[in-house]
Chains A and B, each alone.
Chain A
Amino acid sequence: GAVVSQHPSWVICKSGTSVKIECRSLDFQATTMFWYRQFPKQSLMLMATSNEGSKATYEQGVEKDKFLINHASLTLSTLTVTSAHPEDSSFYICSASGHVGGATYNEQFFGPGTRLTVL
């Protein structure tokens, strides 16, 4: 159990376009979803936290108008990178936590990630 999927797994887009990334919890209800960004050979940087039905909480330095997050249901959160530029190229990973039988409290289940390349 506790599987998180992400779609797409990779995307290449032109500068100025917007890209939407979906994160789904497949077999549990995710009360909280997190969006991270990871540069090559670096750690995960938390971008924002979202709870179902409420506005996302963004970390300091993350532009909320640039990275739109929607958590419409207990199984789906989306991250939209608006007007993408080459510097937005990165690996975006979502994670989810919720009521999962046998899981440790606060344990986060990570999606496989989305590699975004902006030309």
Chain B
Amino acid sequence: GQQVMQIPQYQHVQEGEDFTTYCNSSTTLSNIQWYKQRPGGHPVFLIQLVKSGEVKKQKRLTFQFGEAKKNSSLHITATQTTDVGTYFCAGSYNDYKLSFGAGTTVTVRA
């Protein structure tokens, strides 16, 4: 079936450093969404990308959607302790269902 692959699974970051998590699909996505799940919590919507090559920013977070609409990335600059959690990408293939990536769990060293 259609799957969204996400790497890395874990990211240990020094506070103040940058990191990136990547998502890839073997088939073209209609759109991709990103969610954040804090430890013990539930996923919270961050953003949706729809257009080929789209780039969106939310403060220190930069989201990109590839030209072929098969990959996406989330880049966080100057990581803070509040960034701790698991970041999921979730792709949609011409319907309203989401296929979630495995998630990148981020821990921050102060």
Contact = CB atoms under 8 A, between A and B. Distances in A.
- Tell whether A and B belong to one assembly: yes
Interface of A: 32, 34, 36, 41-46, 49, 60, 93, 95, 97, 104-113
B28 interface: no
Interface of B: 1, 31, 33, 35, 41-45, 47-48, 88, 92, 96-103, 105
A36 B48 CA distance: 20
B43 A44 contact: yes
A81 B71 CA distance: 36
A1 to B, nearest CB: 13
Given A41-B105, A43-B88, A43-B103, A108 B48 contact: no
Contacts of B45: 104, 107-109
Contacts of B44: 110
B60 to A, nearest CB: 20
A44 B33 contact: no
Contact of A44 (B41, B48, B96, B100): B100
Contact of A34 (B97, B102, B105): B97
Contacts of B48: 104-107
Contacts of A104: 33, 45, 47-48
28 contacts: A32-B96, A34-B98, A36-B100, A41-B105, A42-B102, A42-B103, A43-B88, A46-B97, A46-B100, A49-B96, A49-B97, A93-B43, A95-B43, A97-B96, A104-B45, A104-B48, A105-B48, A106-B48, A106-B92, A106-B96, A107-B48, A108-B33, A108-B98, A109-B45, A110-B42, A111-B42, A112-B41, A112-B42
